[in-house]
Amino acid sequence: MRRNQYPGFQTPRGMSRRHFLTHMAGATAFAGSSLALGNALAANASTLKRNRKSAILLWMGGGPATIDLWDLKPGQATGGPFKPIATTGEMQICEHLPMIAQQMDKLSIVRNMSTREADHTRGAYYMHTGFVPQPSIQYPSYGSVISQQLFDSRSDLEIPPFVSVGGGSEGPGFLGMAWAPFTVDSNGNVRNLNMGVEPSRLTQRVMALAKLEQNFIDDNRGRAAAEHAKVIQKTLNLLNSQQMSAFRVADEPAEVRERYGDNNFGRGCLMARRLVETGVPFVEVTLGGWDNHQNIFPTLQNNMLPTLDRAMSALVEDLSQRGMLDDTAIIWMGEFGRTPRINGNTGRDHWARSWSTVVGGAGMNPGIAVGQTNEDGTSIEGSSYTSENLMATICKSLGISLETTFTSNNNRPIKIANGAAPISELFA
């Protein structure tokens, strides 16, 4: 990133130049790098593009039984006890998702996902990055790719461009720690924000620190040393920002909080809306607890589905009412689906061969079901899609060129979404 280049730290985002220079007055003696600072400010001003697109990933940790949510098989041995209900879209979904059913005219189900990774770690990595794990290359995840791609269009953004609520995201891989998720809990608490020292004194310290950092980097000890400095820059941006209030879900009216659900996932979805409103290009909200090897149906009916139903429907409705859904892509997925066969413990095990994801917003065709599985859900009928296709779809919806090529840590050209084609049914 141009903005984060060395030497020296630059004006923290969110601090006006004049404001910053006031601090600097007390720090001029330290500013060996003030020249670079001026250049960077000029660069900042010239890169103002308008692209308000964002994405929200609802990550279902553990692997949800999509056969019980989005692609029911009533009457089959694999079907389980849940019944399908009509929706405002053209598809039916589980009876225990009644509020989402009212929003399905804005979402679409991809019922022909077929992947190969049925182990949590590998599956989560693959679904997050579009690449299977490989020892020599660390691939960046959705949040890192999208926030990096959209960052230049958000020159007014002062808080991190990739926020993960509740943890569980994959990392930035070869894009570097500067694109790592900023993880917060669902109450939006960010620890250690209170500096307790005069701003001008902090500026002096930071200017001096920049030199010390640079010396270590100049010793040529490998790139990790420079990554550290970049993260310090991002932290400075954040420390000075009014936009931090986007994390404060408690500022929302009580009825809105109630509508989303007063639990971690509900608050996380509400925070996602606030963050996107502020300009954050990528937010990931995790709902764990889908690894239901035992006793799956009561767990889904009593715990998982009510939480999901409330929060996800509220998010879609809210974004739509605020006119933000056209610019915001929603992705609902886990690392894989679960076995159509119900096991001896009335659970379902890991299953990647035929499962569903849900997407919507950002101009993707709404209200449809893409693809289909066979009668009992054990295989896909017709064509199928993979993690790569899904990622290409989301990138396309956000206006990110599918010709984008990165250079990996081992200097190989890596195409975005592994060069895959988007899901054609989702685009007119």
Residues within the interface to another protein (CB under 8 A): 26-27, 29-30, 61-63, 118-122, 124, 135-137, 160, 166-169, 177, 180-183, 190-196, 201, 204-205, 208-209, 211-213, 215-217, 219-225, 227-229, 231-232, 234-235, 238-239, 288-289, 291, 293, 349-350, 408-411
Q: Decide whether 165 or 426 has the Cβ nearer to another protein.
A: 165
Closer CB to another protein, 259 or 338, in the complex: 338
Closest distance to another protein from the beta carbon of 9 (Å): 12
Helices (H), 261-353: 264-278, 296-299, 305-321
Smallest distance from another protein to CB 158, Å: 12
Nearer to another protein, 137 or 402 (CB): 137
| Sign of the CA dihedral with 281 first, then 397, 124, and 104 last | positive
Question: Between residues 46 and 192, which has the closer beta carbon with respect to another protein?
Answer: 192
Residue that the structure tokens 């994959």 belong to? 170
The H or E element spanning position 176 is none
Torsion sign (Cα): 396, 312, 99, 340: positive
Name the minimum Å distance from CB 75 to another protein: 21
Q: Which is nearer to another protein, 219 or 403 (CB)?
A: 219
Compute the least distance from the CB of residue 262 to another protein, in Å: 20
Distances (CA, A) of 399 to 12, 18, 384, 407: 28, 35, 24, 21
Strand partners, 407: 413
Contact 24, 32 (CB under 8 A): no
Comparing CA positions, the residue from 342, 372, 330, 375 lying closest to residue 355 is 372
Nearer to another protein, 3 or 53 (CB): 3
Shortest distance in whole angstroms from residue 194 CB to another protein: 6
State the pairing for strand pair 92-94/84-86: antiparallel
Task: Give least dist CB 379 to another protein, A.
Answer: 13
What's the token pair of residue 45?
């001003």
Instruction: Answer yes or no: are the C-beta atoms of 79 and 375 closer than 8 Å.
Output: no
